Structure 1
Amino acid sequence: MDIHTIKNYEAWMFDPHFDEDTREELKGIMGQEKEIEDRFYKELSFGTGGLRGIIGAGTNRMNKYTVRKATQGLANYIKNKGIEAISKGVVIAYDCRHMSREFSQEAALVLANNGIKAYVFEDLRSTPELSFAVRHLKAVAGIVVTASHNPPAYNGYKVYWEDGAQVATKIAEEITKEIQLIYDYYTSIPMDKEEALRAGLLIYIGEEVDEVYEKAVIAQSLRGDAIHQVSQDFKIVFTPLHGTGNLPIRSVLKKVGFENVLVVPQQELPDPNFTTVSYPNPEERAAFQLAIDLAKKENAHLIIGTDPDCDRVGAVVKNQEGEYVVLTGNQTGALLVDYILSTLKEKQELPSNAVIIKTIVTSEMGATIAEGYGVDVFNTLTGFKYIGEKIKEYEASGAKTFLFGFEESYGYLAGTHARDKDAVVASMLICEMAAYYHGKGQSLYEGLLSLYEKYGYHLEDLKSITLEGKEGMEKIQGTLQAFRDNPPTEIGGYQVKTVEDYLKQDKLPKENVLKFLLEKDAWVALRPSGTEPKLKIYCGVVEDALDTCKEKIQQLMSHITNQL
């Protein structure tokens, strides 16, 4: 270990500023050099929009001290903006994870100690409602304490700006600078809770925001008639995976007319240990096992599941053999693009300047469908904050009318009530879309097959390679650089036509991502995760038959991973 790491460890061990629980935890790892190094070799990075890490003592961990310091940096940034920014306040929401409530209170009281009002939700709330609430309350910023779909050992802290989107890259960099100017943890001090309440600097919010948020979500419904036509017999199974989605999604589905919504009882209530799943992620089929069991028993037509902070949603439908299959994020996105655009066209309400926004690692199928309706498509970097930035830009200029944004990782947004992915509005539209197909005597799966027949068979795959700690980070960076220095000319039987290096382009913010455009519209992309210690490999192919797609995508993924 280097001397810097050792000094950090000793400071946290012996400095009376840190509480007894922290010191006891650190005594427990005495002599474990690798563990000490991982906890103290750096400070937990603020990243592109906040913190995320394992809960525990140390500079590279999520704990009350790192949360206080990050919040002090945010407070300093707000104060630099002047009295108007200070007076607007900050909205704070949190999910069901270990320490989420405590971290949200620490953040609120540090803000209060800086004379900045904190509007704190009285109980669990979803990330998209936080995004909505920032603009609804005309706040300068927002914080949501969540680690999304990470394992139970993690928590996180995402920062939003006054437009309701996660902080843009430039703002994130400036907040990071403010955090880095805080050389110790003594200056990040929370105000006493009772004092903050008396001073009007700690304000609890709840149902009054829920009500207007739900109205904004329900306003995105397109075919209420389709719901009411089948509401008696159309059966939905829903799982919130122990997270924040339980109440808002059930409430919205009921209000738009769905009468048969069954919630997986074992996963209904909040649980920070996510005891019924190994990974609370609707991208994983295993997370849906209990929901599938219930759907089989009840002969349900559709299953939906949301992640702990309710910004992602997955859908499960019956295939032609009657088996329940999990749709990919790309498949659901393509279905929603077609459903939204076809409905608006039928109603003669499709704006002439409509735009769909997706990310560079999302399937091109949604784009192909949109272009079939004469609708423009814009690609952003991975991360919904970039979609939020474009929404803000289009609203300001009037150049485009935003209809729908989506990414392969199960994130969707219809409408502009939020500026982040919203599993509440997406769940409503997925259920409505499935009800519409059901009314026509089709399943969502059959609807997908009809889109394949019309637009070509698109299939994608994603592999994440976990590389933890300092060595893992270095390995990820080295791998990207190796491909950058010596790009392949052929991948998995496809010739490489173009290499897009997002560190060397000017259309989008620079990011360490490589995308290889191959013949026959196939593609491969490599990028480090922005929130987890992972290297992500994305592949996509377009063929004339689904079986051919499956063969080619496997070949493509095997070839690229064998080179790592």
Structure 2
Amino acid sequence: MIKIKFGTDGWRAVIADDFTVENVKRVAYSTAIWLKENFENPAAVVGCDPRFGGPLFADTTATVLASQGVKVYRAENTFVSTPMISLATVHYKASAGIIITASHNPPEYSGYKIKASYGGPATPEDIEKVEKQIPDKLDLQLKSIADYQKNGLMELVDLEDLYVAHVENNFDLETIRTCGQDWAYDAMYGAGQNVMRRLLPDITFLHCDHNPGFDGQAPEPIQRNLQEFEDLIKISEGEIASGLVTDGDADRIGLYDETGKFVDSHHILLLLIHYLYKVKGQKGEVYSTFSCTSKIQKLCDVYGLHNTVTKIGFKYICDLIVNSDKPFLVGGEESGGLAIAGYLPERDGIWIGLTLWEFMAKTGRPLSDLVLEIYDLVGAFAVERYDLHVTDEQKQQIIANCKAGHYKQFGDYKITSTDDMDGYKFHFDENSWVMVRPSGTEPVLRVYAEAPDTGGAFKILDATKATLLG
């Protein structure tokens, strides 16, 4: 049997290679042991995204949990999003939520995510407990779902109805529907498609069919994967006010303005702070990861808000939301995982998208105009990224050079200060920096740069690349 290792956001593996029914049984059994050791009357919500084999792996998980005496709320929907599992975990007061998903990974992958009772990522400590107890071999006699239903250990529940009702109770959907603006949504064949059709049936939809192979493309909402959607918005010539994209399990967001320009997570975070504080009058803590724009701190300074910078990974944001005794406002990371006050300590692409569409609908202003309003407060900026594919030896040497303070400048860009919270961020002036961070699993260096415009950011990246690989 293979050694099963959880990453930063669950266990992921190639379907029929390492992600098999037998290995899913092993992980589910260990999850059951952890639940029984830590909860008096353990219960779990279980579902899957639209990936190939999802219902089989979800049923396997559910029956293994039930066989060990864990009450299971099994999603009766063909597929669900990760936020739907998190919401249901809180709603049913379950001990955990489990979704079979590989998120934005390529279609040949599947995965196993564990959500905590509070409706957000399980802590690294709890994941470690599950991981350590995974048996090498397992011989279980499992009954059918119907049998577990009869003895009260399995209940089929409609998570789509639950999620739609929660959205309808928290948003002014009528204003979004009738404001005179047309909207577009690209599900990337992922788990958000059905609920969006129910919430906003008259908008423009793309890739909202059930396609377990995602048409051969990784369902990651980054600009290079979204050319068809981008072209759709551009040819509408302003008729489409904004385009929303979510990934395979609908917890990450991509966004376009009315001109077909991609609006990245750095800008989305600023827009959320601006809307919740300036328009809605809310206050609270702001949490942003180390790779986010420095403009977040500037906007927080303007509004008198406190910004805490964390290591990269939504789990660090979630930990602060759950455990801080201070009220929360906005938190997020550059990869599209964002959370706001009044909801779960969880990423949700649809929830964040509807928040911004509500902002536009209530103000009657285009998204590009709202971005310019942010620029008036903090200055224009752009953040870009290169992934440098290097040998492991090169990666280790470059990181050793960063640690030793070897680099004094990159091309013409002289370093004025350095931060090493999670990788190495080299500041040039108050408006520009470059960050070097090694991948934990691949021979890749991720290099991020911020500058007042896109061209400037790429110039910094090119100069940094030339110096690092020189």
Is TM > 0.5 for Structure 1 vs Structure 2? yes
Match of 2:10 in 1: 50
- How far apart, in 1, do the equivalents of 2:232 and 2:203 lie? 15
User: Do residues 525 (structure 1) and 435 (structure 2) align?
Assistant: yes
Q: Quick one: which amino acid aligns to residue 403 of structure 1? A: L
User: Do residues 195 (structure 1) and 121 (structure 2) align?
Assistant: no
Match of 1:489 in 2: 408
Q: Is the 8 A contact 1:500 1:515 kept in 2?
A: yes
Deviation at 1:423, TM superposition (A): 1.3
Deviation at 1:474, TM superposition (A): 7.5
Change (3 A) 1:201 1:224: closer
Q: Quick one: which amino acid aligns to residue 95 of structure 2? A: V
Q: Quick one: which amino acid aligns to residue 456 of structure 1? A: G
Which has more radius of gyration?
A: 1
Match of 1:155 in 2: 110
Change (3 A) 1:271 1:73: same
Alignment of 1:164-563 (within 5 A): 164-179=119-134, 182=135, 184-187=136-139, 190-206=142-158, 209-221=159-171, 227=176, 231=178, 233-253=180-200, 260-264=202-206, 267-275=207-215, 278-290=217-229, 292-293=231-232, 296-297=235-236, 299-319=239-259, 324-345=260-281, 350-351=282-283, 354-394=284-324, 397=325, 400-437=326-363, 439=364, 442-465=365-388, 480-481=399-400, 483-485=402-404, 487-502=406-421, 513-521=422-430, 522-529=432-439, 533=442, 535=444, 537-543=446-452, 549-562=453-466, 563=468
Change (3 A) 1:139 1:196: same
Q: Secondary structure at the match of 1:524?
A: strand
Deviation at 1:428, TM superposition (A): 0.8
Residue deviations 1:374-401 (CA, integer Å, cap 9, x gap): 111122222222222211113xx3xx21
Deviation at 1:191, TM superposition (A): 4.3
Change (3 A) 1:70 1:301: same
Q: Is the 8 A contact 1:292 1:303 kept in 2?
A: no
Q: Quick one: which amino acid aligns to residue 263 of structure 2? A: L
Q: Secondary structure at the match of 2:280?
A: helix
Q: Is the 8 A contact 1:128 1:421 kept in 2?
A: yes
Residue deviations 1:468-499 (CA, integer Å, cap 9, x gap): xxxx7787566544533554222343333444
Residue deviations 1:145-171 (CA, integer Å, cap 9, x gap): 111111111111111111211111222
Match of 2:56 in 1: 102
- How far apart, in 2, do the equivalents of 1:371 and 1:302 lie? 29
Q: Quick one: which amino acid aligns to residue 45 of structure 1? A: K
Change (3 A) 1:290 1:343: closer
Structure 2 unaligned regions, length at least 5: none
- How far apart, in 2, do the equivalents of 1:432 and 1:560 lie? 40
Change (3 A) 1:449 1:294: closer
Alignment of 1:129-148 (within 5 A): 129-148=84-103
Q: Secondary structure at the match of 1:519?
A: strand
Q: Quick one: which amino acid aligns to residue 401 of structure 1? A: P
Deviation at 1:205, TM superposition (A): 0.9
Deviation at 1:305, TM superposition (A): 1.4
- How far apart, in 2, do the equivalents of 1:204 and 1:478 lie? 53
Under a length normalisation based on structure 1, what TM-score does the superposition of the two structures give? 0.75
Q: Is the 8 A contact 1:460 1:541 kept in 2?
A: yes
Q: Is the 8 A contact 2:381 2:454 kept in 1?
A: no
Q: Quick one: which amino acid aligns to residue 359 of structure 2? A: M
Residue deviations 1:262-290 (CA, integer Å, cap 9, x gap): 112xx111211112x63322212442414
Change (3 A) 1:119 1:533: farther
Q: Is the 8 A contact 2:449 2:461 kept in 1?
A: no
Change (3 A) 1:474 1:45: farther
Deviation at 1:215, TM superposition (A): 4.1
> C-alpha root-mean-square deviation of aligned residues, in Å?
2.7
- Matched length: 465
Q: Secondary structure at the match of 2:312?
A: coil
Task: Select 2:29's aligned residue among 72, 75, 79.
Answer: 72
Q: Is the 8 A contact 2:187 2:245 kept in 1?
A: yes
Deviation at 1:193, TM superposition (A): 3.4
Change (3 A) 1:225 1:274: closer
- How far apart, in 1, do the equivalents of 2:141 and 2:302 lie? 56
Structure 1 unaligned regions, length at least 5: 1-7, 9-41, 255-259, 503-512, 544-548
Q: Secondary structure at the match of 1:311?
A: coil
Deviation at 1:370, TM superposition (A): 2.6
- How far apart, in 2, do the equivalents of 1:94 and 1:129 lie? 10
- Share of identical aligned residues, percent? 24
- How far apart, in 2, do the equivalents of 1:529 and 1:202 lie? 40
Deviation at 1:122, TM superposition (A): 1.1
- How far apart, in 2, do the equivalents of 1:232 and 1:447 lie? 17
- How far apart, in 2, do the equivalents of 1:466 and 1:95 lie? 31
Residue deviations 1:224-265 (CA, integer Å, cap 9, x gap): 79647xx253111111111111122333346xxxxx51112x
Q: Is the 8 A contact 2:285 2:306 kept in 1?
A: yes
Q: Secondary structure at the match of 2:217?
A: coil
Residue deviations 1:269-321 (CA, integer Å, cap 9, x gap): 1211112x6332221244241463266248322111111111112111234xx
Q: Is the 8 A contact 1:462 1:536 kept in 2?
A: no
Change (3 A) 1:473 1:203: farther
Change (3 A) 1:189 1:171: farther
Under a length normalisation based on structure 2, what TM-score does the superposition of the two structures give? 0.89
